[in-house]
Structure 1
Amino acid sequence: MIEEVERWLEHRSWTANDWPVERLAALKRATGASVAVVLPALNEEATVGAIVDVIRRELVEAVPLVDELVVLDSGSTDRTAELARAAGARVVHRDAVLPRLPALPGKGEVLWRSLLATDSDLICFVDADLKDFSSAFVTGILGPLLAEQDVHLVKAMYDRPLGSEPGQGGRVTELMARPLLNMHWPRLSGFVQPLGGEYAGRRSLLEQLPFPVGYGVELGLLVDALHTVGLDALAQVDVGVRVHRHQDGQALGRMAATIYRTAQVRLARGHLVRPELTQFDRLPEGGFEAHTHAVDTEERPPMREIPEYTERRAAA
C-alpha cells in the first residue's frame, strides 16, 4: 500500500507552474472540452467580487479558458449576488435549480445543484471566501484534466496559515479527516488537502456520485471517486497558499462530527446510529448552557438519476 501511494504521489502530483495558461488554452482547443467554474456562496460579499473579477479578466477575457463562470448562491442575505453579478458572474440562486426538491442547508447541496445549472464537460469548484485569490487556483486544477484523459478528479493542495502561524490551518483535516483516511482508505493518504474546497472533475464522474449535502461533501466525493474510478484517476496540484476565513472551535467541532458521520455512512451503510453533538457555552451568570446539534447528514443521489438532468443532457 505504501509503495502504491508513493508511486501515485510521484506521477499524479503537480504544481500550478506546470500548467501555464497558454498551454491550457492550447489543450482546451485540442480536446474541445468546455470548462465551468462554480463558486458556492453564502454571505461572501467581502470576497466573492474580487474572485470573480480575477477569473473573468484572466481566464475569460485575456485567455478563453473558462466558458461558464457561475456563482451558486445558497440564500445569501447580504450583497453577495449583487457584487458577483457586477464582477461578471452568472448568479444562480439555489432555489431556482430543481425547484420541485426543497433545498437543504449546506455546501454540498449547492455543489450538487450546480451540475444541473451548468453544461460544461469540466467543472471547477472554488470557495467564495478566499483572500488574495490567484487564478492559479483554477488553472492548476484544470491542467491534469485537460492534459491527461485518464484523470477524472483533481484536488488543490496548499499551505493553510492560521493567522500569522504558517501551516496551522486545516484543523479538522488534521484531527479528523486525515486519521480517518489513513485508517480506512489508506490509498487516499497521499492527499495533502482532502477537505479543500478547490477541486475539479469531469462531469462524467461527478454525475455518478452521491453528494452529502453539508460539510462532508469533499470527503464523500473523494472516497466515492476512489471506488468509482480508482486511485490513478485522481490527482493533486500545489497552488501555493490558501488564505480564508477561519471558524471558531465549536463550529470546527460540528464540522468534525459531520466528517465522521460521512465516513461512517460509507463504512457501514444500514447499520448506523443517528448521532448528535452537544456543546457548551459559559453563561454570563456562571455555569454552562448545553446546545445539541444534529450531525446526521442527508445525501443527494447521483445527478444522472434525476429526470430533469437526464432530459437536459439529452437535449444538449
Structure 2
Amino acid sequence: MTALPERPEVAPEPGPRRYPPPRHPLELERLALAKVGRRVSVVVPARDEAPTVGQVVRALEGLRRGSRSVPALVDEVLVVDDGSQDATAQVAEEAGAQVVRSPRPQGKGGAMRLGVAASSGDLCVFLDADLREFDPLIVAGLLRPLLEDRGVWLVKPRYDRTLGGRSGEGGRVTELTAKPLLALLFPELLAVDQPLAGETAAPRAVLETLGLAEGYAVEVALLIDVASRAGLEALAEVDLGRRVHRNRPLAELRPQAEEVARTILQRAALAGRPLG
C-alpha cells in the first residue's frame, strides 16, 4: 500500500480548494508532463449502460493513446460490468476498454472496489457510464488538483444538473435526501456542491486506506471519511459546467435515497454528531 498524501495545510479560508473548468486541450500537455512517474486509471462502473458506455470509452481513448506532441494522460480505462443484462460489456470492450466482469451484482460501491483492485494506477478517476455529451476534458479537470497539489485527497465536481432539459432540476436524491441530512449532521460539508457525484478522483492510497462503502452511498461515505480524517482542505472541487445523464424514475431512486440516508446517519452516530 502506498503512503497517504500529506495532510494539507489550513488555507486562509478553510474549505474545499476550487478549480476553474478545463477549457483548452493545451492543458492536457501540461498535466501529462506533471503526471510523469505516476499512473492514472479511469474506472467506469456500469450496469445496463450499453447505449452510452461506448461513447464514454471512445472519448477516453485519445487520453490513453496520447499523440506525438502530448504524452498519454490516462494509462488504462476499466469498465466494471456489474451484472448487466444488456450488451454493456461487449460495447465497452469493442470501444477499447478493459472489462472487469463481476461474478454477481455488487452494487456501485462493490463495482468501484473491483475496478480499483484490477487497476494499476497511483491515481484513480471514477466516471459514471450514463454520461451524455461526454467531454474527455472532464478527466483532465478531475486530475488537475491531484497532479498539482500533493495535499488533495479527494476531488469532486461542481456542475449544473438537468432534468428533462430543465436546468437545476436534476440531482433529486442529492437535493432531497443527502443535502438536508448533511445540513443537520455534517453542516460543514454543505460547502461541497455535489456530494453524490459519480465523477470523482482520488489517490489509490486514500481509497485503500479509507475503503469504499457499499451501494449508492459510496460517494457520500468517502466524502465524510476524507473530511473527518484530513479536513475540508483535503477536498478539491472542479467546475465541470453541466452534467447530462440518464434520469431515472422515482421508483429507482428510492433505494438510492435509503442507502444514502442510512450511511449518513451511521457515519454521524459513529462520530457522535448530535442531530442539529
Q: Which amino acid aligns with 1:56?
A: E
Work out whether residues 152 and 235 of structure 2, in 8 Å CA contact, stay in contact via their aligned partners in 1.
Answer: yes
Please give the alpha-carbon distance, in whole angstroms, between the structure 2 residues aligned to 1:7 and 1:170: 28
Match of 2:7 in 1: none
Compute the displacement of 1:146 (Å): 0.2
- Residue 26 of structure 1: which of 27, 33, 39 is its match? 33
5 Å-filtered alignment, 1:144-155, equals 144-155=145-156
Q: CA deviation at 1:182?
A: 2.1
Equivalent residues of 2:75, 2:121 under 8 A apart: yes
Q: Distance in 2 between matches of 1:5 and 1:76?
A: 44
Give 3-state SS (helix, strand or coil) of 2:166's partner: coil
SS at match of 1:235: strand
Report what 2:42 is aligned to. Answer: 37
- Give how far 1:18 is off: 6.9
Q: Percent identity?
A: 43
Deviation at 1:197, TM superposition (A): 0.2
Q: Give the conservation status (yes or no) of the 8 Å contact 1:51–1:130.
A: yes
Higher relative contact order (CA 8 A, sep 6+): 2
Select the residue among 57, 61, 74 that pairs with 1:52: 57
Which residue does the alignment assign to 1:252? 253
- Asked if the contact 2:212–2:222 (Cα under 8 Å) also holds between the matched residues in 1, the reply is yes
Structure 1 stretches lacking a partner, 5+ long: 96-102, 272-316
Mapped partners of 2:173, 2:217: distance in 1 = 11
* Deviating more after overlay: 236-245 vs 104-113: 104-113
Deviations 1:189-213 (A, max 9, x none): 1111110100000011110123222
For residue 118 of structure 1, report the CA deviation from its aligned partner.
0.8
| CA contact 2:43–2:125 (8 Å) conserved in 1 | yes
- Mean Cα displacement is larger for which, 246-255 or 140-149? 246-255
Answer yes or no: is the 8 Å Cα contact 1:37–1:70 preserved in 2: yes
Kindly state the Cα deviation for residue 108 of structure 1 after the two structures are TM-superposed. Answer: 0.6
Query: Aligned equivalents of 2:121 and 2:97: distance in 1?
Result: 15
Q: 1:13 maps to which residue?
A: 18
- Total equivalences in the alignment: 258
Are 1:87 and 2:88 matched, yes or no? no
What per-residue deviation string (whole Å, max 9, x for no partner) do you get for residues 109-145 of structure 1? 1111222111110000000000010012211110000
8 Å CA contact 1:42–1:74 kept in 2: the answer is: yes
**Match for 2:21: what amino acid?**
A
- CA-based RMSD: 2.1
State the secondary structure of the residue aligned to 2:206. helix
| Structure 2 unaligned residues grouped into runs of 5+ | 1-9
Query: Matches of residues 219-258 of structure 1 in structure 2 within 5 Å?
Result: 219-258=220-259
The amino acid of 2:65's aligned partner reads V
Aligned-pair CA distance for 1:5: 10
Q: Structure 1 residue 26: deviation in Å?
A: 1.5
Q: Does 1:78 align with 2:86?
A: yes
1:116-155 counterparts in 2 under 5 A?
116-155=117-156
| SS at 2:170 equivalent | coil
Equivalent residues in 2 for 1:165-314, closer than 5 Å: 165-269=166-270
CA distance in 2, matches of 1:27, 1:5: 23
Alpha carbons 1:155, 1:236 under 8 Å: kept: yes
Distance 2:11 2:131 in 1: 30
Please tell me the residue identity of whatever aligns with 2:20. T
How much has 1:184 moved relative to structure 2?
1.4
Cα distance, 1:227 vs. partner? 1.5
